[in-house]
Amino acid sequence: MSFLSVKNLGKDYGATRVVKSMDLEIERGEFVSLLGPSGCGKTTTLQMIAGFTEPTRGQVILDGTDLTDMPPEKRDIGVVFQSYALFPHMTVQDNISFGLEMRKMAKDQRRERISEVLDMVSLSGMGERYPAQLSGGQRQRVAIARSLAIRPRLLLLDEPMSNLDAKLRENMHIELRRIQRKLGITTILVTHDQTEAMTMSDRIALMSDGCIQQLAPPLEVYHNPRTLFVSGFLGRANVFAGTITRSDKQTYQVSSEGLSFAVCLPENHPFREGKANIMIRPENVGFADPGTAGKLTGTLSEAVFLGTHWLCEVQTPLGMWFVSVQRLASQPGDTVALDWLNSDLRVIAEQQ
Ligand SMILES: Nc1ncnc2c1ncn2[C@@H]1O[C@H](COP(=O)(O)OP(=O)(O)OP(=O)(O)O)[C@@H](O)[C@H]1O
Protein backbone atom coordinates (compact mmCIF):
# COMPACT_ATOMS: atom_id res chain seq x y z
CA MET A 1 0.00 0.00 0.00
CA SER A 2 1.18 3.56 -0.74
CA PHE A 3 2.20 5.94 2.06
CA LEU A 4 -0.82 8.16 1.35
CA SER A 5 -3.93 6.67 -0.18
CA VAL A 6 -6.79 8.91 -1.18
CA LYS A 7 -9.75 6.82 -2.26
CA ASN A 8 -12.87 8.06 -4.03
CA LEU A 9 -12.56 11.36 -2.13
CA GLY A 10 -15.30 13.86 -2.97
CA LYS A 11 -17.02 17.00 -1.74
CA ASP A 12 -20.47 18.31 -2.59
CA TYR A 13 -21.84 21.71 -1.62
CA GLY A 14 -25.58 21.26 -2.08
CA ALA A 15 -26.07 19.90 -5.57
CA THR A 16 -22.60 21.05 -6.73
CA ARG A 17 -19.91 18.38 -6.81
CA VAL A 18 -16.77 20.49 -6.38
CA VAL A 19 -14.55 17.42 -6.02
CA LYS A 20 -16.03 14.44 -7.83
CA SER A 21 -14.00 11.37 -7.04
CA MET A 22 -10.28 11.62 -6.36
CA ASP A 23 -8.02 8.60 -6.27
CA LEU A 24 -4.42 9.34 -5.41
CA GLU A 25 -1.64 6.99 -4.33
CA ILE A 26 1.48 8.80 -3.09
CA GLU A 27 4.72 7.10 -2.10
CA ARG A 28 6.80 8.01 0.96
CA GLY A 29 9.09 10.98 0.17
CA GLU A 30 7.28 11.83 -3.05
CA PHE A 31 6.47 15.42 -4.12
CA VAL A 32 3.14 15.63 -5.92
CA SER A 33 1.49 18.79 -7.24
CA LEU A 34 -2.21 19.34 -7.71
CA LEU A 35 -2.23 21.65 -10.72
CA GLY A 36 -5.25 23.17 -12.40
CA PRO A 37 -7.25 26.31 -13.12
CA SER A 38 -8.97 28.37 -10.45
CA GLY A 39 -12.00 26.63 -8.97
CA CYS A 40 -11.13 23.09 -10.10
CA GLY A 41 -11.12 21.76 -6.53
CA LYS A 42 -7.42 21.75 -5.59
CA THR A 43 -7.75 23.56 -2.25
CA THR A 44 -10.85 21.59 -1.30
CA THR A 45 -8.93 18.36 -1.90
CA LEU A 46 -6.01 19.55 0.23
CA GLN A 47 -8.36 20.72 3.00
CA MET A 48 -10.02 17.30 3.08
CA ILE A 49 -6.61 15.62 3.40
CA ALA A 50 -5.67 18.08 6.18
CA GLY A 51 -8.99 17.51 7.94
CA PHE A 52 -10.27 21.10 7.74
CA THR A 53 -13.08 20.18 5.34
CA GLU A 54 -15.25 17.15 5.87
CA PRO A 55 -15.49 14.96 2.78
CA THR A 56 -18.88 13.98 1.40
CA ARG A 57 -17.45 10.62 0.39
CA GLY A 58 -14.22 8.69 0.34
CA GLN A 59 -11.25 7.97 2.56
CA VAL A 60 -7.80 9.33 3.40
CA ILE A 61 -5.30 6.73 4.63
CA LEU A 62 -1.85 7.82 5.82
CA ASP A 63 0.77 5.17 6.52
CA GLY A 64 -1.93 2.57 7.10
CA THR A 65 -4.09 4.75 9.41
CA ASP A 66 -7.51 5.88 8.29
CA LEU A 67 -7.61 9.65 8.91
CA THR A 68 -11.06 10.27 7.51
CA ASP A 69 -12.75 10.90 10.87
CA MET A 70 -9.67 12.13 12.76
CA PRO A 71 -9.49 15.83 13.80
CA PRO A 72 -6.79 17.90 12.01
CA GLU A 73 -4.54 18.33 15.05
CA LYS A 74 -4.24 14.56 15.45
CA ARG A 75 -3.23 13.91 11.83
CA ASP A 76 0.42 14.92 12.15
CA ILE A 77 0.24 16.95 8.97
CA GLY A 78 2.04 20.27 8.35
CA VAL A 79 0.14 22.84 6.33
CA VAL A 80 1.42 26.06 4.72
CA PHE A 81 -1.09 28.43 3.15
CA GLN A 82 -0.78 31.30 0.71
CA SER A 83 -1.31 33.76 3.57
CA TYR A 84 1.42 32.72 5.95
CA ALA A 85 -0.78 33.13 9.04
CA LEU A 86 2.14 33.89 11.36
CA PHE A 87 1.19 35.29 14.76
CA PRO A 88 2.12 38.99 14.36
CA HIS A 89 2.68 39.62 18.09
CA MET A 90 5.16 36.73 18.41
CA THR A 91 8.80 36.63 17.33
CA VAL A 92 9.93 34.24 14.62
CA GLN A 93 11.21 31.75 17.17
CA ASP A 94 8.02 31.94 19.24
CA ASN A 95 5.98 31.36 16.09
CA ILE A 96 7.97 28.20 15.43
CA SER A 97 8.00 27.18 19.07
CA PHE A 98 4.20 27.32 19.34
CA GLY A 99 3.53 23.99 17.62
CA LEU A 100 6.36 22.34 19.55
CA GLU A 101 4.96 23.53 22.88
CA MET A 102 1.56 22.15 21.88
CA ARG A 103 3.34 18.83 21.40
CA LYS A 104 4.89 19.24 24.86
CA MET A 105 8.48 19.24 23.64
CA ALA A 106 11.08 20.10 26.30
CA LYS A 107 12.63 23.60 26.19
CA ASP A 108 16.17 22.50 25.22
CA GLN A 109 14.90 20.32 22.46
CA ARG A 110 12.69 23.14 21.23
CA ARG A 111 15.62 25.53 21.08
CA GLU A 112 17.63 23.01 19.09
CA ARG A 113 14.78 22.29 16.70
CA ILE A 114 14.09 26.01 16.09
CA SER A 115 17.73 26.67 15.30
CA GLU A 116 17.82 23.64 12.98
CA VAL A 117 14.77 24.68 10.92
CA LEU A 118 15.81 28.35 10.77
CA ASP A 119 19.14 27.21 9.43
CA MET A 120 17.37 25.01 6.91
CA VAL A 121 15.43 27.96 5.46
CA SER A 122 18.53 30.24 5.67
CA LEU A 123 17.09 32.47 8.40
CA SER A 124 19.58 31.80 11.18
CA GLY A 125 19.91 34.88 13.37
CA MET A 126 16.40 36.14 12.60
CA GLY A 127 14.68 34.34 15.48
CA GLU A 128 14.22 37.52 17.55
CA ARG A 129 12.46 39.46 14.81
CA TYR A 130 8.74 39.99 14.51
CA PRO A 131 6.92 39.07 11.26
CA ALA A 132 6.45 42.78 10.41
CA GLN A 133 10.26 43.14 10.36
CA LEU A 134 10.64 40.52 7.62
CA SER A 135 10.20 40.59 3.85
CA GLY A 136 7.42 38.57 2.21
CA GLY A 137 9.86 35.86 1.18
CA GLN A 138 11.33 35.64 4.68
CA ARG A 139 7.87 35.42 6.23
CA GLN A 140 7.02 32.62 3.86
CA ARG A 141 10.18 30.79 4.85
CA VAL A 142 9.26 31.15 8.53
CA ALA A 143 5.87 29.61 7.74
CA ILE A 144 7.64 26.70 6.04
CA ALA A 145 10.13 26.37 8.92
CA ARG A 146 7.24 26.33 11.39
CA SER A 147 5.54 23.50 9.54
CA LEU A 148 8.81 21.54 9.21
CA ALA A 149 9.67 21.95 12.91
CA ILE A 150 6.93 19.58 13.98
CA ARG A 151 8.40 16.94 11.62
CA PRO A 152 5.03 16.17 10.08
CA ARG A 153 4.45 12.90 8.29
CA LEU A 154 2.93 14.82 5.43
CA LEU A 155 3.47 18.42 4.27
CA LEU A 156 0.64 20.22 2.46
CA LEU A 157 1.44 23.46 0.66
CA ASP A 158 -1.38 25.62 -0.72
CA GLU A 159 0.03 28.15 -3.19
CA PRO A 160 2.71 29.10 -0.64
CA MET A 161 4.74 31.11 -3.13
CA SER A 162 2.07 32.99 -5.04
CA ASN A 163 2.68 36.24 -3.12
CA LEU A 164 6.37 36.35 -3.99
CA ASP A 165 7.92 38.06 -6.98
CA ALA A 166 9.09 35.92 -9.89
CA LYS A 167 12.81 35.78 -9.00
CA LEU A 168 12.19 35.00 -5.34
CA ARG A 169 9.67 32.37 -6.32
CA GLU A 170 12.22 30.63 -8.54
CA ASN A 171 14.74 30.60 -5.69
CA MET A 172 12.13 29.26 -3.29
CA HIS A 173 11.28 26.43 -5.72
CA ILE A 174 14.86 25.26 -5.66
CA GLU A 175 15.30 25.79 -1.92
CA LEU A 176 12.09 24.09 -0.93
CA ARG A 177 12.76 21.13 -3.18
CA ARG A 178 16.23 20.77 -1.63
CA ILE A 179 14.82 20.76 1.90
CA GLN A 180 12.02 18.39 0.93
CA ARG A 181 14.51 15.93 -0.58
CA LYS A 182 16.86 16.23 2.38
CA LEU A 183 14.12 15.48 4.89
CA GLY A 184 12.43 12.95 2.60
CA ILE A 185 9.12 14.51 3.57
CA THR A 186 6.08 13.47 1.56
CA THR A 187 4.61 16.66 0.11
CA ILE A 188 1.54 17.78 -1.79
CA LEU A 189 1.61 21.23 -3.38
CA VAL A 190 -1.46 23.04 -4.69
CA THR A 191 -0.65 25.43 -7.50
CA HIS A 192 -2.07 26.94 -10.67
CA ASP A 193 1.45 27.79 -11.84
CA GLN A 194 2.59 25.22 -14.39
CA THR A 195 6.28 26.17 -14.09
CA GLU A 196 6.14 25.67 -10.34
CA ALA A 197 4.55 22.25 -10.77
CA MET A 198 6.98 21.25 -13.54
CA THR A 199 10.13 22.27 -11.65
CA MET A 200 9.23 20.85 -8.24
CA SER A 201 7.20 17.69 -8.67
CA ASP A 202 7.95 14.02 -8.97
CA ARG A 203 4.43 13.73 -10.34
CA ILE A 204 1.74 16.21 -11.35
CA ALA A 205 -1.98 15.58 -10.88
CA LEU A 206 -3.57 17.81 -13.48
CA MET A 207 -7.09 18.65 -12.37
CA SER A 208 -10.10 20.19 -14.01
CA ASP A 209 -13.68 20.39 -12.86
CA GLY A 210 -13.22 18.34 -9.68
CA CYS A 211 -11.38 15.44 -11.38
CA ILE A 212 -7.81 14.37 -12.08
CA GLN A 213 -7.28 14.40 -15.82
CA GLN A 214 -3.78 12.94 -15.71
CA LEU A 215 -1.38 11.90 -12.98
CA ALA A 216 2.18 11.37 -14.17
CA PRO A 217 5.75 12.74 -14.00
CA PRO A 218 6.08 16.28 -15.45
CA LEU A 219 7.79 15.19 -18.68
CA GLU A 220 5.17 12.53 -19.31
CA VAL A 221 2.30 14.99 -18.77
CA TYR A 222 4.01 17.49 -21.06
CA HIS A 223 5.02 15.15 -23.87
CA ASN A 224 2.15 12.67 -23.72
CA PRO A 225 -0.93 14.58 -22.62
CA ARG A 226 -3.94 12.29 -22.36
CA THR A 227 -6.57 14.93 -23.08
CA LEU A 228 -6.85 18.18 -24.99
CA PHE A 229 -7.30 20.01 -21.72
CA VAL A 230 -3.95 18.70 -20.44
CA SER A 231 -2.17 19.54 -23.72
CA GLY A 232 -3.45 23.12 -23.56
CA PHE A 233 -2.92 23.71 -19.85
CA LEU A 234 0.71 22.69 -19.71
CA GLY A 235 2.58 24.87 -22.18
CA ARG A 236 1.51 25.70 -25.71
CA ALA A 237 0.24 23.10 -28.11
CA ASN A 238 -0.58 22.97 -31.81
CA VAL A 239 -3.67 20.80 -32.17
CA PHE A 240 -5.53 19.79 -35.31
CA ALA A 241 -8.33 17.33 -36.02
CA GLY A 242 -7.54 14.52 -38.44
CA THR A 243 -8.46 11.04 -39.53
CA ILE A 244 -6.17 8.16 -38.72
CA THR A 245 -5.88 5.20 -41.02
CA ARG A 246 -3.67 2.18 -40.81
CA SER A 247 -1.11 1.72 -43.57
CA ASP A 248 0.33 -1.55 -42.33
CA LYS A 249 0.82 -3.31 -39.02
CA GLN A 250 2.98 -0.64 -37.41
CA THR A 251 2.35 2.44 -39.50
CA TYR A 252 -0.54 4.87 -39.25
CA GLN A 253 -1.28 7.92 -41.36
CA VAL A 254 -3.13 11.00 -40.25
CA SER A 255 -4.89 13.07 -42.89
CA SER A 256 -6.31 16.53 -42.48
CA GLU A 257 -7.17 19.28 -44.99
CA GLY A 258 -5.71 17.21 -47.83
CA LEU A 259 -2.39 16.75 -46.04
CA SER A 260 -1.07 13.45 -44.78
CA PHE A 261 1.61 12.55 -42.23
CA ALA A 262 2.82 9.34 -40.66
CA VAL A 263 2.12 9.03 -36.93
CA CYS A 264 3.22 6.45 -34.40
CA LEU A 265 0.80 4.97 -31.93
CA PRO A 266 2.39 3.31 -28.91
CA GLU A 267 1.35 -0.33 -28.25
CA ASN A 268 -0.92 0.62 -25.37
CA HIS A 269 -2.46 3.71 -27.01
CA PRO A 270 -6.25 3.64 -26.63
CA PHE A 271 -6.78 4.82 -30.17
CA ARG A 272 -6.34 3.03 -33.50
CA GLU A 273 -8.37 4.33 -36.47
CA GLY A 274 -10.90 7.10 -37.06
CA LYS A 275 -11.18 10.76 -36.12
CA ALA A 276 -8.73 12.07 -33.53
CA ASN A 277 -6.86 15.16 -32.39
CA ILE A 278 -3.18 15.44 -33.17
CA MET A 279 -0.83 17.57 -31.08
CA ILE A 280 2.71 18.83 -31.53
CA ARG A 281 4.63 21.22 -29.25
CA PRO A 282 5.95 24.51 -30.74
CA GLU A 283 9.56 23.62 -29.92
CA ASN A 284 9.22 20.45 -32.02
CA VAL A 285 8.27 22.43 -35.11
CA GLY A 286 10.91 24.32 -37.07
CA PHE A 287 11.30 26.17 -40.37
CA ALA A 288 12.24 23.86 -43.25
CA ASP A 289 15.72 24.21 -44.72
CA PRO A 290 15.83 26.73 -47.59
CA GLY A 291 14.91 25.08 -50.87
CA THR A 292 12.99 22.24 -49.21
CA ALA A 293 9.22 22.02 -49.12
CA GLY A 294 8.70 21.05 -45.49
CA LYS A 295 5.49 19.39 -44.37
CA LEU A 296 3.18 22.37 -44.02
CA THR A 297 3.22 25.80 -45.65
CA GLY A 298 1.91 28.93 -43.99
CA THR A 299 2.31 32.66 -43.52
CA LEU A 300 4.36 34.04 -40.66
CA SER A 301 1.98 36.43 -38.94
CA GLU A 302 3.84 37.35 -35.75
CA ALA A 303 7.25 36.77 -34.15
CA VAL A 304 8.25 37.83 -30.65
CA PHE A 305 11.69 37.48 -29.10
CA LEU A 306 11.46 35.96 -25.62
CA GLY A 307 15.12 36.08 -24.63
CA THR A 308 15.97 32.41 -25.13
CA HIS A 309 13.93 31.89 -28.32
CA TRP A 310 11.54 33.36 -30.86
CA LEU A 311 7.89 32.52 -30.52
CA CYS A 312 6.23 32.69 -33.94
CA GLU A 313 2.63 32.49 -35.04
CA VAL A 314 2.12 30.92 -38.43
CA GLN A 315 -1.22 30.85 -40.23
CA THR A 316 -1.53 27.41 -41.87
CA PRO A 317 -4.30 25.32 -43.51
CA LEU A 318 -4.42 23.45 -40.17
CA GLY A 319 -5.04 26.65 -38.19
CA MET A 320 -2.76 29.07 -36.37
CA TRP A 321 0.43 27.29 -35.27
CA PHE A 322 3.01 28.30 -32.69
CA VAL A 323 6.61 27.69 -33.66
CA SER A 324 9.47 28.16 -31.25
CA VAL A 325 12.91 28.66 -32.80
CA GLN A 326 16.35 29.87 -31.73
CA ARG A 327 17.02 31.81 -34.93
CA LEU A 328 14.65 33.60 -37.25
CA ALA A 329 15.41 34.54 -40.86
CA SER A 330 11.86 35.44 -42.00
CA GLN A 331 9.69 38.52 -41.61
CA PRO A 332 6.00 38.70 -40.76
CA GLY A 333 4.10 38.31 -44.03
CA ASP A 334 6.60 35.84 -45.50
CA THR A 335 5.53 32.43 -46.72
CA VAL A 336 7.26 29.81 -44.59
CA ALA A 337 7.53 26.02 -44.74
CA LEU A 338 7.29 24.12 -41.47
CA ASP A 339 8.95 20.83 -40.69
CA TRP A 340 9.02 18.37 -37.79
CA LEU A 341 9.75 14.80 -36.91
CA ASN A 342 6.59 12.75 -37.26
CA SER A 343 7.59 10.90 -34.10
CA ASP A 344 6.84 14.16 -32.23
CA LEU A 345 3.17 14.10 -33.29
CA ARG A 346 0.90 12.92 -30.48
CA VAL A 347 -2.52 11.42 -30.93
CA ILE A 348 -5.11 12.47 -28.37
CA ALA A 349 -8.03 10.10 -28.59
CA GLU A 350 -10.62 12.38 -27.01
CA GLN A 351 -12.79 14.22 -29.54
CA GLN A 352 -12.94 18.00 -29.73
N1 LIG B 1 -17.67 26.51 1.43
C2 LIG B 1 -18.02 26.45 0.15
N3 LIG B 1 -19.32 26.50 -0.23
C4 LIG B 1 -19.67 26.42 -1.53
N5 LIG B 1 -18.80 26.29 -2.56
C6 LIG B 1 -17.50 26.23 -2.25
C7 LIG B 1 -17.05 26.31 -0.89
N8 LIG B 1 -15.68 26.23 -0.90
C9 LIG B 1 -15.34 26.11 -2.20
N10 LIG B 1 -16.41 26.11 -3.00
C11 LIG B 1 -16.41 26.01 -4.49
O12 LIG B 1 -15.75 24.84 -4.82
C13 LIG B 1 -15.03 24.98 -6.03
C14 LIG B 1 -13.60 24.52 -5.82
O15 LIG B 1 -12.94 25.43 -4.94
P16 LIG B 1 -11.40 25.28 -4.57
O17 LIG B 1 -11.06 26.39 -3.63
O18 LIG B 1 -11.16 23.89 -4.13
O19 LIG B 1 -10.73 25.51 -5.98
P20 LIG B 1 -9.20 25.73 -6.35
O21 LIG B 1 -8.93 24.81 -7.49
O22 LIG B 1 -8.34 25.59 -5.15
O23 LIG B 1 -9.21 27.23 -6.86
P24 LIG B 1 -8.13 28.43 -6.65
O25 LIG B 1 -6.93 28.09 -7.48
O26 LIG B 1 -8.88 29.62 -7.17
O27 LIG B 1 -7.84 28.51 -5.17
C28 LIG B 1 -15.15 26.44 -6.43
O29 LIG B 1 -16.10 26.57 -7.45
C30 LIG B 1 -15.62 27.11 -5.15
O31 LIG B 1 -16.41 28.23 -5.45
Residue 115 and residue 19 in one domain: yes
| pLDDT given for residue 336 in this prediction | 94
> Which of 9, 18, 158 best tests ligand 1's pocket when mutated (most atoms within 8 Å of CB)?
18
Reported ipTM: the value is 0.94
- What is the rounded average pLDDT of the residues 109-132? 91
CATH number (domain holding residue 283): 2.40.50.140
Residue 184 and residue 285 in one domain: no
Mean pLDDT in the chain?
Answer: 91
Residue 192 and residue 285 in one domain: no
pLDDT exceeds cutoff 80 at 266: no
| pLDDT given for residue 350 in this prediction | 63
Nearest CA to ligand 1 atom 10: 18
Last residue in a domain, options 210, 228, 246: 228
**Residues 2-23 pLDDT 10s:** 999 999 999 999 999 999 999 9
Nearest CA to ligand 1 atom 16: 41
Instruction: Find the helix packing angle between 107-120 and 92-102, rounded to 10°.
Output: 130
Residue 8 and residue 134 in one domain: yes
pLDDT exceeds cutoff 50 at 352: no
Q: What's the rounded Cα separation, in Å, for the pair 238 and 56?
A: 39
Structural domain including 11 reads: 4-228
Residue 256 and residue 287 in one domain: yes
> Could you give the number of structural domains in the chain?
2
Q: What is the pTM of this model?
A: 0.88
Residue 156 and residue 242 in one domain: no
- What is the rounded average pLDDT of the residues 206-226? 94
210 Cα–ligand 1 center, Å = 10
Last residue in a domain, options 177, 201, 228: 228
Find out whether the beta carbon of 92 lies less than 6 Å from any atom of ligand 1: no
Residue 144 and residue 205 in one domain: yes
CATH number (domain holding residue 41): 3.40.50.300
Find out whether the beta carbon of 39 lies less than 6 Å from any atom of ligand 1: yes
pLDDT exceeds cutoff 50 at 268: yes
Residue 22 and residue 153 in one domain: yes
Residue 316 and residue 168 in one domain: no
Residue 217 and residue 259 in one domain: no
pLDDT exceeds cutoff 90 at 61: yes
Residue 223 and residue 241 in one domain: no
Find out whether the beta carbon of 11 lies less than 6 Å from any atom of ligand 1: no
Last residue in a domain, options 194, 228, 262: 228
pLDDT exceeds cutoff 80 at 224: yes
Residue 71 and residue 218 in one domain: yes
In which band, very low, low, confident or very high, does the pLDDT at 1 lie, cut at 50, 70 and 90? confident
